[in-house]
Structure formats: structure tokens, C-alpha cells
């Protein structure tokens, strides 16, 4: 009996201990459940939602680029692409290998993906493949369980409606580099492109826009079930240009296969109506990657298609520079309007002889006839009397050899030198340098855009700056009115004197009779031929030398600058034909045909797209 009582008491203590332990465990569990469900319920609900809902930033549509009449020059198209969110992938390497077995990846794409994975954040999608076909998208969706972290997304890609004609103006877009990662979250989004040249680069910030966000419901393997809500980003601003695309096409066709450039300005306000650099290239190739074969083809072409000749090509202006020399001489009072200088066909200075293009000479010529016949001897002597520093100062005032406030990056400034410039190289300035500068040779080089600006400033008497941009997001930008630009600061009488000489060049038997328009409207202009290789005295005096017989790359460049109408200047232009030999014979007729088209179209005289829409609404 005593043993039974002892066993009963032992059992009772064990039962109490076990019961107590169970009570403690259940109590702890209940306390934990209360903590999870009551105290921390909100946090776990959020975590559960985060597993079910994924948020993705969305890239905005890049702004459009339009011509003055509303024609879309650059826009965007839907681009289906595959993205990888690393934090949703169980094994990133395995996921990529599985993807590549379904949709092949090139070595270049693999390298880019590896770089993006190293530099990116795990929650920001990485671009895997762009421009997916419908068949590729179907395969990805069918194999979704084997591709955790892979999603198909609809982005946008840049499209150029007329790439060849507009490459040098619009430029192109390309993926951002590591140097472009400045903290802007937009730069981290897959497939984002930024401007690398032209208008695309100059207005890149305005064209980008701001990103949005979309919330998606996903299942356990990451497949999208449905879109829950979307906060759209702000699309980039549209950029409206003063440019006339129809005129651009006509000029491109007129230049044909020539390595040449042409620029047309509204000489009252500097708006660029057309800018052609020939030959051109297709900028869309930079978005998908340029092959080595294509790059070799471009770089081996001696006509240099990748260079915007209008803003980056440097050429000696030749005789087109003579108006600047004349204005410098008049301003310094080293010549008068009717002073005559004798031209026997050459000019001797020390032991050097400087030839005129006319071997027999022009006799006694004044300013008007010196421009009309492009007498070199006249301008040799005017340059000596005036000095290079005064010539340089006047040239800069006219837009030559100085930086222009142009809305296309990459322009080259060229130069109209001074004595200090030569001294900075440790060399003295020689009188012979001044002589050859009088006809736009020697160390003087300018761009075709500067030459067109030069013609516009002579025609208008205003310090206009060339520019493309008219509107940003519909807002008119400063510079569209003549009064937006200051007076050139050159007396009207002086300007009228060189205008008269330019008129005679074209219309009174001067060096450019082939440039005459032939109707009631008259054009004033000036020819130029700039040497790229020295011609010896023996060759000049032989009487048999003809630069047309030289190899193409040794022939002089052919230049022409002009404005029209003569009595009421509206448009100014420059034409440069590389190795075209003679300005009057080659560049002059091209300039005539371009000006006839410009006057026929009269883009500056027509309402632009928004003005026309307002007028239609009122009517």
C-alpha cells in the first residue's frame, strides 16, 4: 500500500510538471501568436503583400522632335523586351542559362548583362534582350517556371523617320555609360537611351521625362497575374525646330554624290531652315550596335560620312573672305569706297611674288569691281594696309573664327588668327602671312555654318546667331524675332558697299554668272576656291596648269555664300563642295538651285504648325 501511495504521488508530481510545461509552452505560443497577429500584424501583412505585389519603375516616352510644320522627325515605338529582377531569381546564373537556351544571347549581350549585374541593384530590372518577336515572347511565357525573375515588358525605342537625311542634325541615342550614372533613377532603368549627338544630346534633359511606377500581382514563380495600378511618368518634352524637312530632302538630292555641305538660314533671325552634310549615315544603327564591318566602311570612306561637315568641317574660306577684309579696311579707313588699286596679275613683296587668279591682271579696280572680279591683288594690298589684327576683329564680329551659340554640340570654332596667336607658338607674324590672309588662305579656316552666318550678318546688319530650336513643350523660345538680335555695329554705308559688290558678282558679269536666279528676284553672292595644296610659281607661270587635272584629293575646295532677295534679304546660305575646284563653276550653280527652292517654298513666310492650328481653331 505504501508503495502504491508513493507511486501515485510521483505520478501526480510528473503530471503537474508536464502540465506546467505544456501550459508554459501553450502560453508562450499564445503570446507569440498574439504578438504576430495583433502587435506585428500590420508588418507581416505588408511583407505578405510585398511577396504578392511587385513594383516596377517605368521609363517615360522620350519627347518627339518636330520640324517647323509639325512633321515628326524622331519619335518612339513599342519595344518588347525581356528583363531580369535579380532578387526574384533563385539562381541568377541558372536562370540566364535557361533563358539563353530558349532565346540565344550573343557574347556582347552576355558581357553587358554581367556588367549591369555587377553595377546594378537587385531590385532594379536588368535588360536581357530587346526587340523580341512574338514567337520569342510566347516561349518565355511558356517556360516561366524555369525562368524565375524573368519578365516580358513593353518599353519604347527611338525611331527616326528619315535617318539618312537627318543624322547630322538629330544625332542619335545610346545606352548610358557608367559615367552617366549620376544618381538619376531613370538612368538605371533597362533600355533607357540618352542623347549622344545633335539635337538629341543638346536637349537630352528636356527629352528624357520622368519615370513612373506600376504595381503588379505575381504568383509564387514570379509570373504576372494582373496589373493592380499604374502611376504614369511624365513624358519628355517635344522639341519644335525651325527646320524645313522638305527643303532638306531637296538639297540632299541636289548634292548627289558630292562630298559637300549646305546651310540655309533665315538671315533676319538666324533660324536654320536646312543643314546638309553629305554623305550621311543611319543613326539607328548605334541603338542596336554597329558592326566592325560597318565601322570600317564608314572610316575608310574619304568623304567622311560620320562628320557633320556643316559644323565640324574646317575649310579655308578663299575669296568668300574678301568681304570681311573689305569691311575691316573701310572700318579702319585704310581704303575708301572708290579708291583704285592697280592689278598687273601679281603682287611682289620682298623676294616673294603673290599671283592673282587672272594672269593678265584686272587693271585699276575699286572695291565693287574687286569683289565683282575677285581680284586677289586688290585684297593683298588692302590686307597689308589694314593689318591682321583689325581683319581678325572684323571677322569675329561677322561670325568667322569664333564660337557660335548653336544648339548642336560638337561645333569647331576654326580660326582667323592674330599676331598674338602666332607669337603664342613662338613664331613671329610675317607680312606674307597678312598677304595670303587677304584672300582667305594661310592659317584661316572656318565652318560652312560660320560662312552662312557671315552672309546673314552682312545681309541683315544684325548679330544673329544660328539656331534650330523654336519651341520646347509648345513654348516659343527667344530668338525668333529680328529684334531679339543686336545691331552688328557696322555702318550701313559700309555694308551696302560690299552688298553691291556681291550683287555684281552674280548679276553684272562677275565670277558667278551661273548663279543668277534668272527671274525678278535677284541674289547677291561671292565665290571662293580654297587650295589644299600649294601651287608653285613655275606651275602658275607655265600657262598650262589646270587644277582639274589633279587627283580629287588635291583639287581646291569650291565655296559660295549668298543671300536673297537682294533688296529685301530673307535667306542666306553657304555651299562648300570638297575638292570641287572652282566656286563659280561648281558651288555657284548648286547655290542657285537651292535658293530657287528656298524662295519657292518660303518656309519662313509660312505659318508653323501651332500657328496654323490656332488660326484654324479661330476660323
How far is CA 40 from each of CA 32, 51, 74, 170, rounded to the nearest angstrom? Answer: 10, 17, 53, 56
Residue 291 annotated in active site = no
- Nearest 5°: phi and psi at 524? -105, 140
Distance of CA 205 to the CA centre of its chain: 14
**DSSP letters for 161-183:** SSHHHHHHHH--EE---GGG-SS
Q: What's the CA dihedral at 99, 101, 102, 106 to 10 degrees? A: 80
Grid cell digits, residue 383: 590686307
- Listed in sequence order, the residues at least 6 apart from 272 whose beta carbon sits closer than 8 Å to its beta carbon are 241, 242, 243, 263, 264, 265, 466, 467, 468
| 82 beta partners | 129, 152
- Is the Cβ–Cβ distance between 58 and 211 less than 8 Å? yes
- Listed in sequence order, the residues at least 6 apart from 400 whose beta carbon sits closer than 8 Å to its beta carbon are 317, 321, 324, 414, 416, 446, 450, 451, 454
Residue listed under C-alpha cell 563642295: 577
Three-state SS at 532: coil
- Is the Cβ–Cβ distance between 449 and 182 less than 8 Å? no
- Nearest 5°: phi and psi at 72? -75, 120
The rounded distance, in Å, linking the Cα atoms of 93 and 330 is 76
Taking residue 302's Cβ as centre, other Cβ atoms within 10 Å add up to 9
Angle at 337 between CA 334 and CA 339, to 5 degrees: 70
- Kindly give the pairing relationship between strand 65-66 and strand 239-241: parallel
Three-state SS at 557: strand
User: Is the sign of the CA dihedral 607, 271, 499, 547 positive or negative?
Assistant: negative
- Is the Cβ–Cβ distance between 499 and 326 less than 8 Å? no
Three-state SS at 589: helix
Residue listed under C-alpha cell 509570373: 223
**DSSP letters for 388-436:** HHHHHHHHHHTTSSS----SSTT----B---HHHHHTTT-PPPHHHHHH
139: enclosing H helix or E strand: helix 134-142
Which one from 261, 280, 312, 319 is the annotated catalytic residue? 319
The rounded distance, in Å, linking the Cα atoms of 357 and 170 is 40
The rounded distance, in Å, linking the Cα atoms of 204 and 206 is 6
Question: Minimal CA–CA distance to 358: which of 343, 339, 380, 341?
Answer: 343
Q: Catalytic residues, which ones?
A: 319
Amino acid at each position: 500500500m505504501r508503495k502504491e501511495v508513493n507511486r501515485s504521488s510521483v505520478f501526480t508530481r510528473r503530471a503537474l510538471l508536464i502540465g506546467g510545461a505544456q501550459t508554459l509552452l501553450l502560453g508562450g505560443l499564445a503570446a507569440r501568436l498574439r504578438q504576430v497577429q495583433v502587435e506585428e500584424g500590420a508588418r507581416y501583412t505588408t511583407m505578405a503583400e510585398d511577396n504578392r505585389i511587385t513594383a516596377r519603375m517605368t521609363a517615360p516616352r522620350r519627347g518627339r522632335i518636330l520640324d517647323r510644320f509639325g512633321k515628326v522627325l524622331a519619335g518612339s515605338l513599342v519595344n518588347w523586351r525581356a528583363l531580369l529582377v535579380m532578387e526574384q531569381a533563385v539562381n541568377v546564373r541558372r536562370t540566364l542559362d535557361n533563358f539563353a537556351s530558349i532565346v540565344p544571347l550573343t557574347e556582347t549581350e552576355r558581357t553587358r548583362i554581367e556588367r549591369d549585374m555587377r553595377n546594378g541593384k537587385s531590385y532594379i530590372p536588368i535588360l536581357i534582350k530587346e526587340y523580341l518577336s512574338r514567337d520569342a515572347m510566347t516561349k518565355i511565357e511558356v517556360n516561366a517556371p524555369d525562368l524565375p525573375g524573368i519578365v516580358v515588358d513593353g518599353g519604347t525605342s527611338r525611331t527616326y523617320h528619315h535617318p539618312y537625311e537627318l543624322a547630322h542634325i538629330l544625332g542619335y541615342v545610346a545606352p548610358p555609360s557608367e559615367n552617366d550614372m549620376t544618381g538619376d533613377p531613370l538612368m538605371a532603368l533597362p533600355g533607357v537611351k540618352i542623347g549622344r549627338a545633335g539635337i538629341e544630346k543638346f536637349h537630352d534633359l528636356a527629352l528624357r521625362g520622368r519615370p513612373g511606377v506600376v504595381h503588379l500581382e505575381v504568383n509564387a514563380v514570379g509570373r504576372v497575374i494582373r496589373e493592380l495600378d499604374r502611376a504614369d511618368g511624365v513624358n519628355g518634352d517635344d522639341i519644335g525646330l525651325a527646320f524645313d524637312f522638305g527643303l532638306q530632302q531637296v538639297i540632299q538630292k541636289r548634292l548627289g554624290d558630292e562630298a559637300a555641305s549646305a546651310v540655309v538660314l533665315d538671315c533676319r533671325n538666324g533660324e536654320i531652315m536646312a543643314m546638309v552634310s553629305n554623305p550621311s549615315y543611319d543613326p539607328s544603327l548605334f541603338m542596336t550596335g554597329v558592326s566592325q564591318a560597318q565601322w570600317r566602311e564608314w572610316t575608310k570612306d574619304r568623304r567622311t560620312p560620320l562628320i557633320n561637315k556643316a559644323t565640324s568641317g574646317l575649310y579655308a574660306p578663299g575669296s568668300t573672305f574678301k568681304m570681311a577684309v573689305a569691311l575691316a579696311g573701310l572700318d579702319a579707313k585704310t581704303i575708301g569706297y572708290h579708291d583704285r588699286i592697280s592689278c598687273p596679275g601679281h603682287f611682289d613683296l620682298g623676294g616673294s611674288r603673290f599671283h592673282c587668279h587672272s594672269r593678265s591682271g584686272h587693271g585699276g579696280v575699286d572695291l565693287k569691281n574687286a569683289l565683282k572680279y575677285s581680284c586677289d591683288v586688290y585684297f593683298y594690298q588692302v590686307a597689308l594696309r589694314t593689318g591682321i589684327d583689325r581683319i581678325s576683329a572684323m571677322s569675329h564680329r561677322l561670325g568667322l573664327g569664333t564660337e557660335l551659340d548653336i544648339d548642336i554640340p560638337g561645333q569647331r570654332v576654326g580660326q582667323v588668327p592674330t599676331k598674338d596667336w602666332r607669337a603664342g607658338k613662338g613664331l613671329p607674324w610675317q607680312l606674307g602671312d597678312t598677304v595670303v590672309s587677304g584672300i582667305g588662305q594661310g592659317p584661316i579656316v572656318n565652318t560652312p555654318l560660320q560662312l552662312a552666318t557671315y552672309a546673314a550678318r552682312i545681309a541683315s546688319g544684325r548679330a544673329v546667331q544660328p539656331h534650330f530650336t523654336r519651341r520646347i513643350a509648345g513654348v516659343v523660345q527667344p530668338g525668333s524675332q529680328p529684334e531679339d538680335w543686336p545691331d552688328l555695329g557696322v555702318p550701313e554705308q559700309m555694308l551696302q558697299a560690299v552688298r553691291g559688290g556681291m550683287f555684281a558678282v552674280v548679276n553684272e558679269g562677275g565670277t558667278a554668272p551661273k548663279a543668277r536666279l534668272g527671274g525678278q528676284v535677284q541674289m547677291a553672292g561671292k565665290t571662293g576656291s580654297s587650295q589644299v595644296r600649294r601651287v608653285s610659281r613655275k606651275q602658275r607661270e607655265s600657262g598650262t596648269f589646270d587644277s582639274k587635272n589633279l587627283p580629287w584629293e588635291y583639287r581646291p575646295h569650291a565655296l559660295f555664300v549668298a543671300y536673297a532677295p537682294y533688296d529685301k534679304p530673307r535667306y542666306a546660305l553657304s555651299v562648300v563642295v570638297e575638292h570641287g575646284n572652282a566656286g563659280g563653276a561648281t558651288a555657284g550653280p548648286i547655290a542657285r538651285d537651292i535658293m530657287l527652292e528656298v524662295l519657292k517654298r518660303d518656309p519662313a513666310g509660312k505659318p508653323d504648325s501651332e500657328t496654323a492650328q490656332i488660326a484654324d481653331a479661330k476660323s
